[in-house]
Structure 1
Amino acid sequence: MTAIEFTYHIAKVSKSLKPFAMRLTKDSEDANDLLQDTLLKAFTNRDKYADGTNLKAWLYTIMKNTFITNYQRMVRKNTFIDTSDNLHYINSFENSTENEAAGKFAMDDINKAVNSLEEAYRTPFMMYYRGFKYHEIADRLRIPIGTVKNRIHIARKELKDKLYVYAHPF
């Protein structure tokens, strides 16, 4: 298969790779990077592709392995990766562009919601958010650890209620 034919076949299949990249990375920019890395690896290793085999499956395998390799590299560097349930999958449309304005509006709403919490709930919540452990918060605020956990739980619940629109956009 010539390079032009290979490129043509990859272009036909590559549109279906973006949703898979989004499911793996949970971030539009990271998904675009993963897709680009995958297509680059596929093109540079096109001599390893056997004619007649499933090109789509080959590309999915490259993408999955690239993601795993990048993930392992980040873990070795002790980079924090958020795997909490707070991440939301955002449907991406092929021809849409992002201008980051929605992110600014969301951050403004989040900051307003956090600032509207009572001080007794906001302080432990923000300390936990900044990386303090429960026992460290309890020591610094001189309150029992159970109280710290309870206040953080209540703060989360109130924020969830105040920011309901972001969890259920339509």
Structure 2
Amino acid sequence: MKIDFRNDILPLKNQLYRLALRITLDSAEAEDVVQETLIKVWNKRDTWEEIDNIEAFCFTVCRNLSLDSVKNKRSQTESLDDKPVEKPDNTFNPSDKVIEKDQVSIVREIIDSLPEKQRECIQLRDFEGKAYKDIAALLGMTEEQVKVNIFRARQAVKQRFQAIDGFEARG
């Protein structure tokens, strides 16, 4: 199968950005990482036919560049973008919307604080919708390890959120 940059690789741009953002926690840095990823993939165009899964290759390059960026800038403390929470039901009152936005923010902070492997696995599975097999190939682990990391990540998020939410409800 002939790989075409415009049709096969460029459409991955948004997914690559979300992956880079989840790792770097900085939108400008994530944009830089995606741009660098696309350049690196383009420069490898002579070997595309030898790559089994070009999508997994792109995600691997993006992941590695993101991790390198984080290592180079350890002082990153910014959280994810402050995207508004979309709700089709407009019957919420402003107080409900504030509470929901706070809850989403808390969950994002909890996910950001997870160990690297758990954070990457949950990002790729729950936010990007990747299959366990693809995540395993991308992160260099077995499918079972991916499932364990996702299970542990979800449990940690649930427990930490319930602890925080229970504390705030009493306060």
TM-score (norm 1): 0.41
Higher relative contact order (CA 8 A, sep 6+): 2
Kindly indicate which of the two structures has a greater share of residues assigned to helix: 2
TM-score (norm 2): 0.41
